[in-house]
Structure 1
Amino acid sequence: MNKILVVEDEDILREVIMDYLIEDGYQVLEAADGEKAVELFQSNSVDLVILDIVLPKVDGWSVCRRIRKHSSVPIIILTARSDEDDSLLGYELGADDYLVKPYSPRVLMAKVKRFLEKYSGGMDGMPISDGHIVINMGARLVSVDGNTITLTHTEFEILAYLMQNKGIVITREQLISRIWGYDFYGDEKTMNSHIRNLRAKLGSRGSCIVTVIRSGYKFVEEQL
């Protein structure tokens, strides 16, 4: 049974989310402030985090940052603002997706299901490698020149999909469909932010991800 941490300071909203999750068969942990959220995450094996931004004691940005220091678990951010800077900051801190309040609980449940299916299943198979970057699909680990790096769920999915299609131009629409599905609410800047973060984590090998103007991206192998 997947365990989900719900971090929301509004009692009614938190209870609604929990009711939907429990109805869908998930085990749920709850926190009404950022301090409790970090404590619960550190003491439990959590498969996904639903995280509000405006929280008492420790805000959602700080909670996201702390989780990302130790884990690539999927994080869905909830925000009361549709400000583009908020969503981009969330992605830069390692969030995988976000929803603006008010939102449909069923849309949230669809996102949860999609992330958990990708995170916990269907990842067996031979490692993917270009000689420098190696992806262990089963363990969801990535190494660059022998050094393990930490990627978010979304960054991992983008890299794996591009490397599985080496040399082929993948459109932004294809990437969006692959990662988020039909219920994606971001825009081109969202994808750009994830690609920028991914390149930075790949270091000198980040140049393998090439932007194809007005088309999308492709992974290009470097010469050994």
Structure 2
Amino acid sequence: MAQILLIEDDQSIRTSLALALGRHGHQTREADTGEDGLRMLASAEPDVVVLDLMLPGMDGFEVCRRIRAKSAVPVIMLTARGDDFDVVGGLEAGADDYVIKPVQPRVLDARIRAVLRRGTFAEQTQSDRYRDLTIDRAALTVTKGDQQLALTPTELRVLLELSRSPGQVLSRMQLLELVWEYDYLGDSRLVDNCVQRLRAKIEDEPARPVFVQTVRGFGYRFGPV
């Protein structure tokens, strides 16, 4: 069972989603404004935040930014169908994934379970060091110099997948399958925005990345080592 914080101002949507998530085995706390959601986040310590972007007062974009400033909790945003502005803005604010309204509970449940699995991924090898970056695959921690980095489960999983075979190129579609568990044509913006946030944390110069490199027309690779 996952503890879900649902931030949604529409009462009918909020109630129906909470009931549906309950049937899927989750326990949900509800907030109807971004301000209330942030207060609940501090006390509830949820496993996942499901966040509507169009909120009264403080909108979902600002809520997501404030969550990311102090927490690595996975955020799944609820966005209007086909609204690219919502999708891009939400991902840039730090969301891990998105579900399009009207929300299908089974789809939301699948995305919740997928994002939770990213934080439980482990390998047999203990740790690898690349220059000043240490990836402990057993403890699922990343250290740069002597500072442990606060990566979200999605950022961590992207780094683990890319660094598993340094120098090997992974396409955006491959990363969508490995990290987000999309088994169909997914949204490559999920990958690009996550890589951008990851670079901001692990690279000395994010605009000139050493660890997570872009291979134009193909995808990304980890290296040089």
Distance 2:2 2:123 in 1: 19
Q: CA deviation at 1:83?
A: 2.6
Amino acid across the alignment from 2:85:
D
1:20 and 2:20 matched: yes
Aligned residues: 221
Identity fraction in percent: 37
Report the counterpart of residue 64 of structure 2 in structure 1. Answer: 64
> Which sits farther off after the overlay, 198-207 or 55-64?
198-207
Report the counterpart of residue 84 of structure 2 in structure 1. Answer: 84
Q: CA deviation at 1:81?
A: 5.1
Report the counterpart of residue 123 of structure 1 in structure 2. Answer: 122
Kept after mapping to 2: 8 A contact 1:94/1:152: no
Q: Quick one: structure 1 residues 207 and 134, their matched pair in 2 at CA, closer, same or farther if it must change by over 3 Å?
A: same
Distance 1:7 1:184 in 2: 28
Unaligned runs of 5+ in 1: none
Distance 2:164 2:200 in 1: 20
Cα deviation code 1:146-202 (max 9, x no counterpart): 222222322211111111121211121110101122267753344222222222222
Taking structure 2 as the reference length, what is the TM-score of the superposition? Answer: 0.88
Amino acid across the alignment from 1:85:
F
Report the counterpart of residue 9 of structure 1 in structure 2. Answer: 9
Taking structure 1 as the reference length, what is the TM-score of the superposition? Answer: 0.89
Cα deviation code 1:65-104 (max 9, x no counterpart): 1111121111000022533232122112110011221232
Cα deviation code 1:116-163 (max 9, x no counterpart): 1222x3436523432421233455432222222222322211111111
Report the counterpart of residue 160 of structure 1 in structure 2. Answer: 160
Report the counterpart of residue 210 of structure 1 in structure 2. Answer: 213
Report the counterpart of residue 182 of structure 1 in structure 2. Answer: 182
* CA RMSD of superposed structures (Å): 2.1
> Which sits farther off after the overlay, 98-107 or 128-137?
128-137
Unaligned runs of 5+ in 2: none
> Which sits farther off after the overlay, 201-210 or 84-93?
201-210
1:97 and 2:97 matched: yes
Q: Quick one: structure 1 residues 21 and 129, their matched pair in 2 at CA, closer, same or farther if it must change by over 3 Å?
A: farther
> Which sits farther off after the overlay, 58-67 or 42-51?
58-67
